[in-house]
Structure 1
Amino acid sequence: MSAQELNAATVESAEQAGGAAPATPKRRGNRLRIALGVIVICQLMVIIDGTVVNVALAKIQEDLDFSASGLAWVQSAYSLAFGGLLLLGGRAGDMFGRLRLFIGGLALFTLASLAAGLAPSAGALIAARAAQGVGGAFAAPASLALLATTFKDGTERQRALGVFSMIAGLGLTLGLILGGLLSTASWRWVFVINVPFGIGVIALARPFLQDTPRHPARFDVAGAAVSTAGTASLVYGFTRAAADGWSDGLAVAMLAVGIVLLLGFLAIEANVSQPIMPLRLFGERSRAGAYINMLFMSGAMGGLFFFLSLFIQRVLDLSPLQTGLAFVPMAAVQFGGARTAPKLVARFGPKAVTIAGTLAAMVSAIWLTRLDGTSTYPGGLVGPLILLGLGVGLAFMPLNMVILAGLPPRDTGSASGLLQCLQQVGLAVGIAVLTTVYSTSLRDSAHHPNPALSPQEQLHHNLGEGIADSFVVLVAFLAVALTVAALVFTRRPRPAPAVAVSASPQSTRSDS
């Protein structure tokens, strides 16, 4: 009997000795549903905060007297802290206990959300956003690792991963919808809404989530420091490039520093006995491909949501509330696609479902390149949004499944931390690259005005053309993701290893 099985048996015997009734299937099912709710609400809070402020930025700027350049830090402070510390957060959970990191990280995130909602000045809001990112960086990797150990049975875990992936995929879209709804009352509600949910999740975490065994080890201090500095430099460089252009010297310098530090990080990880990011995570072909796929998918989604929000408000002249509601069709179809994805994966395998979802998203991106200043919401956006929702709903679940499949317990935190780190870097890269194309197109349009258009029509024309041109990058990103899924993912699932994601002998592996 393994140590994990012996521990589980000891806990069960202690419960029975203490007079606790054996868990019935119904009671066990209820506990698992509550556990899944705790995990996905935490993940939803962290993901939504990456986009929920987008629609509220204008009101924040007005109330707190932000400068145009300073306003970008409301988003950047969160992204820098979150993206820079995710690898550290993932590995810390493996070593010190994921439930402890989950509760502690979420507590910091909740307190920082309250501080952001009550912020009296621009500086206070930026500091609170950075603290939110720190809390999220420790809670988010632990949430996915706790899911893998709480749901032991292979079928249960696959269903739970389906729900988790659905929520993770919906988070960015729901952030835009909630941002529009909440900011109509006050932008402060965008942050304060996290507080009651955070308190509820913290209260339920310890009674319903099963903690994972700790894996005491020598902490990779050098790897932690260099990975955090390198990722933060890279995210900062891309974020600054998005705001100030690629000609900005500091943006280019930070990108160069980030690349050098991350190359140094890989060298460190290859030579230490207990790395913060074990390179064996890339040893399996499908998992390495899934990480690459997630990077490019996230890059496409980050740029798309940013510029679609801009198009809807600046070209279609819709209010923040209407902008949020404009994404409802996408969210509805995305929800349906994510609910269907586990059944499709069981029948056709992760490779086929990932290819189908990525292809649908790429067709949507091609469609969006046809936008212009005369496009309407029904005629120009509804169709692509529905197709995009279907694609994202189908693609994210099998990617999460492939990344977590067959990992030993000591590596699940690092694997999930790396996954979410790549998502954050992808979001920053996508926005920065699309912004460069968009700015170049605007400059070209300004040099060649159409005298037949009124100033307002010319503005709409230039904005629409610039956004449509930037969406060509989306097509390229998704084409890379599609190619990786087609050529790198293996077709057939391999036999389950002796030690799967959890200690349960029922765990299955499906990483085709």
Structure 2
Amino acid sequence: MRPRPLWLVILAAALPMFMATLDNLVVTSALPVIRTELGASLETLQWVVNAYTLAFATLLLTASGLGDRIGRRRLFVGGIALFTAASAACALATDATALIVARAVQGIGAAAIMPLSLTLLAAAVPPARRALAIGVWGGVAGLGIAVGPLVGGAVVEGLAWEWIFWLNVPVGLVAIPLALAVLRESRGPDRVLDPLGLLLAATGVLAVVFSVVRADAEGWGSVPTIAGLVAGAALLVGFVAWQRRAAAPLLPLRLFRSRGFSAANAAAVAFSFGMFGAVFLLAQFLQVVQGLSPLDAGLRTMPWTLAPMVVAPLAGMLEGRLGTRTLVVSGLVLQAGALAWLAAVTTVDVPYGALVPPFLLAGIGMGLTFAPVATAVLASVPEADHGKASGANSTLREIGIALGVAVMTAVFSANGGYSSGEAFVAGLIPAVQLGAVIVAAGAVAAVFLPGRTRTPAAAPEAERALAA
């Protein structure tokens, strides 16, 4: 196959991933309208969000393992098709139950898209261009997360809630032939399935994530929460034990013997926990306390949320000179400092200008972290294990996000609440401070990443890559 231009390869891998990450948060802005038009209760609205999250997080590792065996591009394209069809079903839903079911199917499709997107991209570009390609890919992923609430608010205010989902359909119809034309098929070394591993991993992650996302409503000390966490932990222990014996394991435990793989995943979990838990609460602060509309709140967070789109590709260019460890440690330190800064300046009537510098600092830190962590994960394992490594990293990040939102919300609820602006800020400050501590712990873990591994010639080559 004739080499494809780098920009086209990145587009083929990143466009479906952007669609999937966008839908992780885009629906949040439409929930009040959906509640009115579909007659949904508050708990039902939570399931509109949680159905997607649970299916997505539960099946990431499973999708990576299946892609290794039946073909990564085949499963990737299948995931795009399923996600596109489910988006149409969401838009056509006439009651809350149909919407929740369609959202769960969307999550299944997204689980096939996210980890395989990175694996296919890494296989499609030469090593000298890989850091730059992953940097741009990371910027696109950050953009999807960033503009989710913004797009949701704009669509709901200008059109109708159904258009949040209709927008995915033309994107999916373009993404499928593009992926088939540009990305080449690849498989992992294993040719047989690990059904017991698939079952243990999926049910274990499902039990843990379900218990975490319901913990705030049920109570962290409640019987359902504790029982779910214990059952999930037991299933995951069983999964680890089985992986030690399986002839073709879903997740070879030897990967964790790599210092780089373990350190990168520890940093990724801390990053996801602290940053996404903080974003969840700070986005509400702008609406609940300062009275902004979802669209206005999204616009004001743009210094934070759009900075990774610019910084991540630059980080890919600089990675050959500075090394992955330097970028990730610096990014996490900047993010921890930004969260501590936000906790220090936030009051009920804090002027927006006081929030812009820490927002921008946090965005720069995210741009320096997301893509280099993905590069470190792949660089620390043999190329044949890229699919498994990407699936493991995606799963751990999603667990980190779920834990971050749940734990930081619990801290918020223990110290404040929604009864007044003062009560909200009283709960927000200790929660964001906890996020800063967790992200700082991730910076400590990132110190154990290997130093530079690329040749000096690789960085200039990467800088010329986009012109190819």
TM-score tier by shorter-chain length is over 0.9
Q: Which moved more, 1:178-187 or 1:194-203?
A: 178-187
Shift of 1:492: 4.2
The residue number in structure 1 matching 2:347 is 372
1:241 paired to 2:202: no
Contact map agreement 2:206 2:232 (CA 8 A) in 1: yes
Contact map agreement 1:176 1:327 (CA 8 A) in 2: no
Counterparts in 2 of 1:53-68, with a 5 A limit? 53-68=27-42
For structure 2, the residue ranges without an aligned partner over 5 or more in a row are: 456-468
The residue number in structure 2 matching 1:450 is none
Of 493, 504, 512, the match for 2:453:
493
How many Å separate the matches in 1 of 2:31 and 2:57?
21
Contact map agreement 2:132 2:313 (CA 8 A) in 1: no
1:171 paired to 2:132: no
Shift of 1:244: 3.5
Shift of 1:275: 0.4
The residue number in structure 2 matching 1:133 is 107
1:44 paired to 2:18: yes
Q: Which moved more, 1:236-245 or 1:92-101?
A: 236-245
Contact map agreement 1:96 1:215 (CA 8 A) in 2: no
How many Å separate the matches in 2 of 1:272 and 1:401?
28
Which structure has the highest helix share of the two? Answer: 2
How many Å separate the matches in 2 of 1:365 and 1:223?
38
For structure 1, the residue ranges without an aligned partner over 5 or more in a row are: 1-11, 13-22, 447-457, 496-512
Shift of 1:477: 1.2
How many Å separate the matches in 1 of 2:134 and 2:332?
19
Query: Letter of the aligned partner of 2:218 in structure 1?
Result: D
How many Å separate the matches in 1 of 2:317 and 2:42?
47
Of 284, 295, 300, the match for 1:310:
284
Counterparts in 2 of 1:1-40, with a 5 A limit? 28=3, 30=5, 32-40=6-14
Q: Which moved more, 1:62-71 or 1:285-294?
A: 62-71
Counterpart of 1:274 in 2: which secondary structure?
coil
Of 418, 421, 431, the match for 1:460:
421
Query: Letter of the aligned partner of 1:345 in structure 2?
Result: E
Shift of 1:35: 2.2
Counterpart of 2:416 in 1: which secondary structure?
helix
Query: Letter of the aligned partner of 2:191 in structure 1?
Result: A
Of 86, 108, 124, the match for 2:98:
124
How many Å separate the matches in 1 of 2:380 and 2:259?
13
Shift of 1:494: 8.0
Deviations 1:318-354 (A, max 9, x none): 0111012112222332222112202321111011111
1:263 paired to 2:223: no
Shift of 1:104: 0.6
Aligned-CA RMSD value: 1.8
Counterparts in 2 of 1:439-458, with a 5 A limit? 439-442=413-416
Shift of 1:201: 0.3
Contact map agreement 1:95 1:217 (CA 8 A) in 2: yes
1:386 paired to 2:347: no
Query: Letter of the aligned partner of 2:147 in structure 1?
Result: L
Query: Letter of the aligned partner of 1:490 in structure 2?
Result: P
Shift of 1:296: 1.2
Shift of 1:44: 0.9
Contact map agreement 1:96 1:214 (CA 8 A) in 2: no
Q: 1:327 to 1:224 in 2, by over 3 A?
A: same
How many Å separate the matches in 2 of 1:110 and 1:134?
11
Deviations 1:247-302 (A, max 9, x none): 33212211111111111111111111210011122121011110111111111122
How many Å separate the matches in 2 of 1:90 and 1:61?
35
Q: 1:248 to 1:183 in 2, by over 3 A?
A: farther
- Between structure 1 and structure 2, the one with the greater Rg is 1
Q: Which moved more, 1:187-196 or 1:238-247?
A: 238-247
Counterparts in 2 of 1:315-464, with a 5 A limit? 315-370=289-344, 371-379=346-354, 381-405=355-379, 407-442=381-416, 459-464=420-425
Query: Letter of the aligned partner of 1:372 in structure 2?
Result: T
Shift of 1:384: 1.6
The residue number in structure 1 matching 2:249 is 275
Shift of 1:482: 0.8
Of 212, 224, 238, the match for 1:250:
224
1:205 paired to 2:179: yes
How many Å separate the matches in 1 of 2:351 and 2:88?
39
Shift of 1:406: 5.4
Of 453, 456, 474, the match for 2:435:
474
Query: Letter of the aligned partner of 2:78 in structure 1?
Result: G
How many Å separate the matches in 2 of 1:406 and 1:95?
22
How many Å separate the matches in 2 of 1:473 and 1:406?
30
How many Å separate the matches in 1 of 2:281 and 2:313?
27
The residue number in structure 1 matching 2:134 is 161
How many Å separate the matches in 2 of 1:366 and 1:309?
17
How many residues were matched structurally? 454
TM-score (norm 1): 0.85
How many Å separate the matches in 2 of 1:215 and 1:318?
52
How many Å separate the matches in 1 of 2:349 and 2:226?
36
